[in-house]
Structure 1
Amino acid sequence: MNTPIRRLTTVVALMFVALMVMATSVQFVQAPALNADGRNVRTVYREFGRDRGPIVVAGDAVAVSTPVDDVYGYQRSYPGGALYAPVTGYFSAALSSMTGMEAAANPVLNGTSDSLLVQRIQDLITGAQPQGGSVELTIDPVVQQAAWDALGDQRGAVVALDPQTGAILALVSTPSYDPDPLAAHSSAEAQAAYDALLADPADPLTNRAIGGDLYPPGSSFKLVVAAALLESGDYGPDSEVPAPAELQLPQSTQVVRNPGGISCTANDTAPLIYTLQESCNTTFAALGMELGQDALREQAEAFGFGAPLEIPLRVTPSVYPTDLDEAQTAMTAIGQYDVRATPLQMAMVSAAIANDGVQMRPYLVATERGPDLEVLRTTEPDELRRSVSTETAEELTAMMVNVVEQGTGSAAQIPGVDVAAKTGSAQAGEGRSPHAWFTAFAPAEDPEVAIAVLVEYGGNEGDLASGGTTAAPIARQVLEAVLDR
């Protein structure tokens, strides 16, 4: 072989080696970074152009994909609209983002879940178009609609769940939004819709039922304090407790007064059951200081305050504060100062009491199915924690029934049904109307549903709002929807 040919052969061999090295580098070494690069449209098309499975409520799809003739191949749409948006979230190809159940159940919906491995292998062998699985929710459409209608145009949230299993029957947050414009394949249309929602001062993208900035629970938190009192063994429903017209807090200019500034009783003492019935602030502030912040925090945590939770939507943990002085402890005992809670958390408090003191893990997904409708996974009820003893749960139930029969919760009365409940009105800041709360379960003797209602800043009643007048009627409509099923 002459010298020129030998040199050419060497150059060609080196070129082949360089080609193999570069190909290996691109396919194996650089692949993760290239796939994650936002400029890689193939990745976007692969993720957002799948035949995505539906999200289903009682046999009807509330989120579905249909074939279209564009680069994505499938268009996501939301027959459930604003009613279900806080649950479904949105899936946006144009914005390259997803929220709600679309994100939480994404591996099943897009077909990449480990449970769909056999299906993917079959599709690979047969050359079939990959399909996602379906997710069936626990939501009861009748209960969801009742909660939506009852809240109306007021800002707030309703959560209803089965206290014996933890299945969530309704999860409503208002105002809500229509996910369809966000799912548009036009980047300009989707971005305009998203920007409009961000600019809306009513914050429709915030799921008030499980997150956001949280809310002071007001007098609904007195259930936690009452539980701590009963659990201590030093108090019973008939124990005589302080009930002054006013309570001057130690080392503070703050004076605690009862709702409406009136005395709860003609005397300075009353039975504990009566003070819960009338929601006496002075009583619970005084008893909160007697119990101390550690006992209150321990009981709050026994109901789930401070604990992370996914349903599988991520829930913002509710908060009982630390490092309190006596005056601050007193204010936390009436659900003020820095106590913060989600409506889901307060529904969980009632659910634990309804379930003989055992709190079940809340969940939204009933069943996951493959594209062939084969069941991949069914959620089994799971005990989360014991919040109170069975005896305390029975005593609290009787006290809560008394709230509805003779006290502040009378607007939630249902003929022929014993409803157990607690009202709440929470100061929301200077110059703002109070938040109205109501948490309950029914029937008291054999509970089918536990509920929490929040009406933000008093809703349509403004400064005149209270848990008993504003939130209780909403709760009654939802309870009736469950009991009439």
Structure 2
Amino acid sequence: MNRSIKTLYLALAGGFILLFVMLGYWQVVAAGGLNERADNPYHFEKQRLVDRGRIISADKVVLAESVAYTQKRKKYFKRNYPQGALAAQVVGYATPQQGSTGLEAQYNQYLAGSYGTGAILDKLREPQKQGADIRLTLDTRVQRTAEALLEGSRGAVVVLNPQTGQVLALASSPSFDLNQVASDFASIRKQDGAPLVNRATQGRYPPGSTFKVVTATEALNSGKWTPNSTFNDTGKFVVFGQTIRNDGGVKFGVNTLTDALTFSINTTFAAIGTQLGAKALGNQMTKFGFGQPTSIDLPSNEVSVSGRYRDGKLLSNTQRDEDVARIAIGQENLQVTPLQMAMVAGAMANGGRMMKPYLVKRVITPDGVVVRQQQPEELASVSSAYVASEVGRMMQNVVREGTAAQAGLSGLSVAGKTGTAETGTQGLNDAWFIGYAPADNPKVAVAVVIEDSSGTGGQVAAPIAGEVIRTALSSGPVQGDPQP
């Protein structure tokens, strides 16, 4: 009997010890992580007491702010979005009911004023009552132009500074009014076109002929070809018993690598891809960032990985059972984001150096202290400066003489490449353009995609890119910051 009682006491004592250990872990060690989780409703209910910081664009436009209101004699704050639907998927929302997305989620710690606090007992800490402001690289003039040009379509526009990685515009269509999230979220979710999805970072599309920029880069990197190397196009290229043809069945005969990019000759690039092989082309894809998470300051679940997919599964870049000829022309399971293709264009514009894209330039506390500042960061070297320059010259030729003529601007040199990717529906394609300008001193790199278009990339996406480039270059750099 005494032994049974002793065993029971020991079991109870062990249970209490385990209980206190677990309580200590969750209250002390893990408290901070749980409190900052974007899907923690209690966290956001508590944040109604906090005057969240503002989200401000590079051209000093307030995109998000907190507005005070009184409930049962207590002061609370709610989010207000003065620009409504502008950059909605980027700014994101923060509500006690729906949680948070976009920059509201990614920078919640700063916006909610909980930066610098450790993971201690929640009851023993009081969050700072006013959050920090975040200052963006986004320029609303460029963003508005991009969104206006996308209106009525499903697609995306990305504009980067290729020298720094700063994101000037990240537009996705259709969009939604951020102010309606708190009151009418259900109807937003039901709208056609999935407006909550950020197509610029989450949308995955076959790149079509825009991918030929990657293939051309590896062709020159390999040393096997130059821009003037010649090929003989008979109008078809047979691989694995299947025939690759040029658009419209055109036969180009003898052509150079420059010609092949200018006129988007499928057969030449299929031959190059076959000779390069899966390993070499796959390694070049890896340098460009395919198959890896894209390093942009948005929640990871809002950024898709570009690469080869089969049955929804990401494949290795160097998987050998793939049809490398079709990969070389942007087909064969390739799915890419507009952001990734803007980074490809940006790397070519920046002498072969791919920069990390970012949206937030600095974080400033209510008393004016900069607690976080992003500096330009190189992600990878995809080619030598010489190769990037040669590919750039070929891309200029695409705009001057080839498929991207409608991206051209009077008095300004533009480098680019179009793409028209089949969607599986007869007569409908994903229309693409990637490029940069000015070609001799690049300031902006762009990517445009329009879903389910009846036109080609040159007809549909290139004109949009031209107008966005014009706006970006005419807006000029923004100096200084708004006062807190």
User: What does residue 167 of structure 2 align with?
Assistant: 168
2-side partners of 1:467 and 1:111: how far apart?
A: 45
User: What does residue 462 of structure 2 align with?
Assistant: 472
1:84–1:442 Cα change, 3 Å: same
User: What does residue 203 of structure 1 align with?
Assistant: 194
Structure 1 contact 244–283 (Cα < 8 Å) conserved: no
SS of residue paired to 2:447: strand
User: What does residue 439 of structure 2 align with?
Assistant: 444
2:95 alignment partner AA: S
**Aligned equivalent of 2:473, options 462, 468, 483:** 483
User: What does residue 89 of structure 2 align with?
Assistant: 86
1-side partners of 2:41 and 2:260: how far apart?
A: 64
User: What does residue 113 of structure 1 align with?
Assistant: 115
Shifted more, 305-314 versus 444-453: the winner is: 305-314
2-side partners of 1:435 and 1:40: how far apart?
A: 38
| Cα deviation digits, residues 348-367 of structure 1 (max 9, x gap) | 11110111111111110011
User: What does residue 239 of structure 1 align with?
Assistant: 229
Shifted more, 72-81 versus 385-394: the winner is: 72-81
- Which 5+ residue runs of structure 2 have no aligned equivalent? 1-16, 119-123, 309-314, 476-484
SS of residue paired to 2:244: strand
Structure 1 contact 34–40 (Cα < 8 Å) conserved: no
| Greater Rg over alpha carbons, structure | 1
SS of residue paired to 1:73: strand
**Aligned equivalent of 2:393, options 395, 398, 402:** 398
1:456 alignment partner AA: E
- Deviation at residue 143 of structure 1 after TM alignment: 0.9
Does 2:304 align with 1:316? Answer: yes
1:43–1:338 Cα change, 3 Å: closer
Structure 1 contact 50–110 (Cα < 8 Å) conserved: yes
TM-score, normalization: structure 2?
0.84
SS of residue paired to 1:392: helix
| Cα deviation digits, residues 286-335 of structure 1 (max 9, x gap) | 21111111111111111111122232113322104443446x21111111
- Deviation at residue 88 of structure 1 after TM alignment: 0.6
Aligned residue runs from structure 1 range 239-388, under 5 A: 239-250=229-240, 252=241, 254-263=242-251, 265=252, 267=253, 269-313=254-298, 314=300, 315-320=303-308, 321-322=315-316, 323-325=319-321, 328-388=323-383
- Which 5+ residue runs of structure 1 have no aligned equivalent? 1-20, 118-123
- Deviation at residue 482 of structure 1 after TM alignment: 1.6
- Deviation at residue 483 of structure 1 after TM alignment: 1.8
Q: How many percent of aligned residue pairs carry the same amino acid?
A: 40
- Deviation at residue 34 of structure 1 after TM alignment: 10
1:72–1:194 Cα change, 3 Å: farther
- Deviation at residue 77 of structure 1 after TM alignment: 1.2
**Aligned equivalent of 1:227, options 217, 222, 229:** 217
Aligned residues: 436
Structure 2 contact 156–200 (Cα < 8 Å) conserved: yes
1:104 alignment partner AA: Q
| Cα deviation digits, residues 395-452 of structure 1 (max 9, x gap) | 0011000000010010011111110000001111244611000001001110010000
- Deviation at residue 25 of structure 1 after TM alignment: 9.6
SS of residue paired to 2:279: helix
Structure 1 contact 45–72 (Cα < 8 Å) conserved: no
Structure 2 contact 294–340 (Cα < 8 Å) conserved: no
SS of residue paired to 1:68: strand
Aligned residue runs from structure 1 range 45-84, under 5 A: 45-57=45-57, 58-70=59-71, 73-84=76-87
SS of residue paired to 1:102: helix
- Deviation at residue 30 of structure 1 after TM alignment: 6.9
User: What does residue 100 of structure 1 align with?
Assistant: 102
1:153–1:29 Cα change, 3 Å: same
1-side partners of 2:372 and 2:103: how far apart?
A: 16
User: What does residue 150 of structure 2 align with?
Assistant: 151
| Cα deviation digits, residues 28-75 of structure 1 (max 9, x gap) | 577579996999986553134321111001222101101011377111
Structure 2 contact 295–356 (Cα < 8 Å) conserved: no
1:82 alignment partner AA: A
2-side partners of 1:173 and 1:403: how far apart?
A: 26
1:287 alignment partner AA: I
RMSD: 2.8
2:50 alignment partner AA: R
Whichever structure has more helix as a proportion of its residues is 1
- Deviation at residue 242 of structure 1 after TM alignment: 3.6
Structure 1 contact 243–275 (Cα < 8 Å) conserved: no
1-side partners of 2:220 and 2:42: how far apart?
A: 61
1:302 alignment partner AA: K
1-side partners of 2:375 and 2:22: how far apart?
A: 45
- Deviation at residue 128 of structure 1 after TM alignment: 11
Structure 2 contact 113–127 (Cα < 8 Å) conserved: no
1:393–1:31 Cα change, 3 Å: closer
2-side partners of 1:172 and 1:40: how far apart?
A: 28
Does 2:404 align with 1:422? Answer: no
| Cα deviation digits, residues 230-289 of structure 1 (max 9, x gap) | 000010000002422122222x3x3211112222x2x2x311100110001111112111
1:236–1:77 Cα change, 3 Å: same
2-side partners of 1:30 and 1:375: how far apart?
A: 32
1:99–1:451 Cα change, 3 Å: same
Shifted more, 431-440 versus 386-395: the winner is: 431-440
